[in-house]
Amino acid sequence: MFYSDKKPNVLVYATKDNLVFRDVENPFNSKIYAGHRSKITAIAEQKTLGKIAIGDETGKVSIITLRGDGTFFMEKEFEMLSGNVNQILWSNDGNRIVAIGAGSETKAVAILIDTGSKSGTILGFTGTQLCSDLAFLEKKTTLFTGGEGSEVLGHEGFPFKGQGKSSGAIHSNFINQLKLSPDNTKFVTVSSDKSIIVHDVATQAILSKTAGAHEMGIYDIKWLDNGSFATCSADNTIKIWSVAADGNIE
């Protein structure tokens, strides 16, 4: 896994229990954070504060910073889940994080960074959660998640409370990825059932569904702008889709 750091020439990715900051232009300037002791399964950057959250296979999330002198500082550690952390999300103010993934009971937890205290209760999941995104719209925050169940759950917060709003069984297999559009008005889910669904953020309603979008299961989404996104599939293809205002794609 990897993503672009706040410096566009740096890639950050995990390999086993190491976090690598790779300088694309000069690999000899790359840094490795080797202070973790479990396999890293999720990473997320808070660019404004210069912090990175690391989730691992034990359910732990660590907050680290990369100092100007090239050394690392591990600020805090939180035991958030009892299984794999599959994704970490930052609140827009950087005061909270949400971890989703696997667990015997809890599959999503939100905490305050300063105190480590829970920011509400997030329930209602069927199976391990594989993907999520936070929508920030008109001072309201909504956590959307999907996974081994075929439904999307929407939880309003912060703080979160209760079972969330279910979309029902919209896919016939695992929901592998869920991503919000840049303007936070729509989100897309893709599945092992080869389908793409476009949803409305405000109502969670389905705007369009495209069955057989790929020949095999679809694993990831990348929004290019508010009117287009790319999908990649196990059929070894990447497709680019245009999104109309009403949510229909082509």
- Domain limits, the chain: 2-169, 182-250
Strand partners, 109: 99
Letter for the amino acid at 235?
D
- pLDDT per residue as tens digits for the range 54-73: 999 999 999 998 777 767 88
d(CA 68, CA 130): 34
Query: CA dihedral defined by 151, 158, 187, 81, rounded to 10 degrees?
Result: -50
- pLDDT per residue as tens digits for the range 25-48: 887 778 888 888 899 999 999 988
- pLDDT per residue as tens digits for the range 89-106: 999 889 999 999 998 888
The answer to whether residues 96 and 63 touch, using CB atoms and an 8 Å cutoff, is no
d(CA 235, CA 232): 8
Domain with residues 2-169, CATH architecture: 7 Propeller (2.130)
Structure tokens at 216: 């095999």
The pLDDT score that the predictor gives to residue 4 is 44
CATH class of the domain defined by 182-250: mainly beta
Distances (CA, A) of 34 to 78, 135, 182: 18, 33, 33
d(CA 147, CA 170): 12
Structure tokens at 44: 């997320």
Distances (CA, A) of 186 to 21, 150, 170, 200: 32, 19, 16, 5
Using 70 as the pLDDT threshold, list the residues of the chain that sit under it. Answer: 1-8, 70
The pLDDT score that the predictor gives to residue 3 is 42
> What phi and psi, each to the nearest 5 degrees, are found at residue 27?
-55, -25
